[in-house]
Amino acid sequence: MFRSVFALVFSLLGTMASQAQVLEETITNSGTNRVFQYAIQSTYGTQTSADATSNLLVEAEAVLNLKEDSFLTNTAGDVGGNTSAVFTTTPTGSNVVLSGITANNQYLLDTGTSFRTALTSTEPDGQPSIGQASATATHSMTITVTDGTTSFVNTLRENFEAPEPE
């Protein structure tokens, strides 16, 4: 009788164990990404400014007309398609030597381009008249270089269990 009860309990445990499913899985991905970016920004325009005492009338005008043959070309890669950046970092700063990155800007002024300023005395008030005014063409080109490293780790853990038998 003892054997039959033991066999029945063992048989029930075996059945329950075979119904319960446990799946545990862990997936980890990691890596490092080296980043090199550069950006070239070229601008061409006009600027007027004035600073004068209240007894001066200031006029500043800048008119810029560009010919259709004007162009702005930024390229990466020399004739052979090579581009490189060599970064040197020291405790006091860093430097970069670029090769194969080119910015070629040709702005041709067209008819009607003019720059004019005028300072005119208004009603004399006994105070000195002091002022300055300017109207200019401006051109700037900025190259921004970014160098860095990013690292990442992604982990996914899944655990599945079958429901307990009723």
pLDDT confidence bin for 64, thresholds 50/70/90: very high
pLDDT at 9 over 50: no
Q: Are 101 and 37 in contact (CB under 8 A)?
A: no
**Res 67: pLDDT:** 92
State the pTM of this model. Answer: 0.49
Q: Is 164 exposed, middle or buried (0-12, 13-18, 19+ CB in 10 A)?
A: exposed
pLDDT at 15 over 70: no
Q: Are 147 and 85 in contact (CB under 8 A)?
A: yes
- Report pLDDT digits (tens) over 92-119: 877 878 787 777 788 888 999 999 999 9
Report residue 4: phi and psi, to 5°: -70, -35
Q: Which residue has the tokens 């020291």?
A: 90
Query: Which residue from 44, 31, 149, 20 is spatially nearest to 103, judged by alpha carbons?
Result: 44
Q: Tokens representing 150?
A: 């990013």
